[in-house]
Structure 1
Amino acid sequence: MEQRDPAAGAARKYKPIQSAVPGTTLGPIQINAFLGGGKLFDTPGVHLHHRQTAVVHSEDLPILAPRSRLRGLSLPNAKVALENGQIGNCGSNGLNGFSIFWGGLVRIDLLKVLPDTCLTFYGPKALPIHMVSTDKANEFYQNELGLLLTPPSGKERAHTWNGLEITRELQIKFEDIERPAADVAISGLGWIVIEPVRKSLRSSDLKLEQFAKELHLAVHIPRPVEIFVRPPLPVGKAGAGWYQYRELTEKEEGLRPKWFF
């Protein structure tokens, strides 16, 4: 806007309308942003208590803000395994018996998955991902919170952090291994794509009939952050390969919000 209208550029210089901290706009703010006399109004946002942005420290909020186009990080991943000293440990059992930390905000325990199951994380790039064996996960979280696992940033904030108080056990069923089973969305943070079998990881001798078509995970999050399981979003070229449009079922139609005009 400022490239086409000098008044808009001047308004932006003296009246910023963006903040990393939610809830800073207490009332409508009038901005004289157009040479023609038009006005732009910045209005208060809505505080949502169930989002990650509502539980982290205000100085950590910029970490959660998207700064560029989202790109997924998939696990198993040789780079992440090397950084966490797990290279070579993801053998025939794949991710079974491992826990994945998404910063200090989320922990995912892989209780029962296929040998070639893959998790892809879509969220802030500044949020580190670490993988450890589940039997060492509690100790790792306690020792590294505020250091490797951020936010919260710093040991001082880590001492006042209530931790991951909520645990949800998920049983995700799937029928088609050619498409993701589901997305696990973390409110205010991002989502995790759950692929039962990733093509690039698929073992030639894998016999799916030996396995139940159900994946078991446990997700740990702070209170009162919400998570929900949804049908997978068709992201990128890979999504174009498996996505098929379908009409909503009667049950899904009944769950949709009703609009009245």
Structure 2
Amino acid sequence: MFRRSERLQSASKQTESDLSPQELKRLEQFSKQGYLVGRIGRTFRTNVESNRGLIEFDPDSLAYGEDVIDKEEERDRTLSNPSTEVDLTLNELKDAHWLYDTPGIMKEHDVLNLLTEQEVKLVVPTQAIVPRTFVLKPGMSLFLGALGRIDYLQGEKSCWFSVIASNRVPIHITSLDKADSIYQKHAGQILLGVPMGGEERMKEFPPFISQEFELKGQGYHKASADIKMSSAGWVAVTGVEGNSLLLRAHAPEGAGLSLRSPPLLPNIVNLKGERIKKSVAYKTRKPQALVDTSLSYKGAKRLKVKKEK
């Protein structure tokens, strides 16, 4: 940790010395919002050559490709300057799994890039997410704030949409024929929540672009796929087994919109509570892990109060 801290401080100073005043100002603004700007490099480097006779495995080349590694090798070395090489034995590598974590990296197609600082605070979760589930018939639409919209165009039966996103971003369900007018009237207002700032804010916000997806229902308890809406979250779609679904998803121009199959949490629909009367929504229900944690915290708090008394 000491070597890592020392290297990061050195890399930061070297990066800042090469920036113009305008870039330095932008760097300062991003740092206040928790962004990390610059090239990180690596503190330790695996000595691949010493193990070449035993096993041919380089996680960097698998992740990025040999050509990228070769081009960036020299730049990386000047920033990292590792003083220690780590030799991994055959036994250490044969059952190895490699995880690449990139916290705070700014993506090119990211809805957060379109939001103000206050809006980002609403979209980025600060507490454990509790899924919100809704049942929609063909001809209905679901709004995730004014950041995204999913239209249920065709299908034989109703299907379930489980929203995994910050609970501070409102969900609004309406009919397909009213969806456009709802967006025009309420985008930037309280009903849809994010973005905020009324008509003036929406004038500079990119318009929606749409993409259609065809899914096949996998049963009442298993989602067919996730519709990802960049960093705003995703919606798991669950349909009756064999039911063919045609969906149209909308997102601001330049923001990521894609289909993830198989879904990340295939049984997320089972976390819904009872159906709310005369509503398309279900009561939210915390996952058991969150319930156990909450009970443990309350129990510990009561014990502490009792001891103080």
Task: Provide the TM-score with structure 1 as the length reference.
Answer: 0.60
Code of the aligned partner of 2:263: P
CA contact (8 A) 1:113 1:215 kept: yes
Pair 1:75-2:134 in alignment: yes
User: How far does the alpha carbon of each residue in 1:85-105 deviate from its partner, in whole angstroms, 9 at most, with x for none?
Assistant: xxxxxxxxx521111111011
Q: Distance in 2 between matches of 1:24 and 1:159?
A: 30
Q: Distance in 2 between matches of 1:48 and 1:22?
A: 15
When the two structures are aligned, how many residues end up with a matched partner? Answer: 177
User: Could you say which structure has the greater relative contact order, defined with CA pairs below 8 angstroms and 6 or more residues apart?
Assistant: 1
| Equivalent position of 1:51 in the other structure | 110
Q: Distance in 1 between matches of 2:269 and 2:139?
A: 31
Change (3 A) 1:175 1:140: closer
Pick aligned residue for 1:100 from 135, 142, 146: 142
Q: Distance in 1 between matches of 2:177 and 2:114?
A: 27
Report 1:111-260 matches (<5 A). Answer: 111-147=153-189, 148-155=191-198, 156-164=200-208, 166-197=209-240, 213-230=243-260, 231-234=262-265, 238=270
Cα distance, 1:229 vs structure 2: 1.6
CA contact (8 A) 1:26 1:44 kept: no
User: How far does the alpha carbon of each residue in 1:9-43 deviate from its partner, in whole angstroms, 9 at most, with x for none?
Assistant: xxxxxxxxx97836465688xxxxxxxxxxxxxx9
| Equivalent position of 1:203 in the other structure | none
User: How far does the alpha carbon of each residue in 1:63-86 deviate from its partner, in whole angstroms, 9 at most, with x for none?
Assistant: 11112111111112xxxxxxxxxx
Q: Distance in 2 between matches of 1:137 and 1:128?
A: 15
Pick aligned residue for 1:66 from 119, 122, 125: 125
Identical-pair percentage: 27
Gaps of 5+ in 1: 1-17, 29-42, 77-93, 198-207, 240-261
Change (3 A) 1:105 1:20: farther
User: How far does the alpha carbon of each residue in 1:90-145 deviate from its partner, in whole angstroms, 9 at most, with x for none?
Assistant: xxxx5211111110110111101342311010001110011111111111111101
CA contact (8 A) 1:171 1:217 kept: yes
Higher helix share: 2
Cα distance, 1:176 vs structure 2: 4.7
What's the C-alpha RMSD, in Å, of the aligned pairs? 2.8
Pair 1:21-2:52 in alignment: no
Code of the aligned partner of 2:115: V
State the secondary structure of the residue aligned to 1:138. helix
Task: Provide the TM-score with structure 2 as the length reference.
Answer: 0.51
Structure 1 residue ranges, 4+ long, deviating more than 4 angstroms after superposition: 24-28, 175-178
Gaps of 5+ in 2: 1-29, 41-101, 272-309
Q: Distance in 2 between matches of 1:217 and 1:20?
A: 39
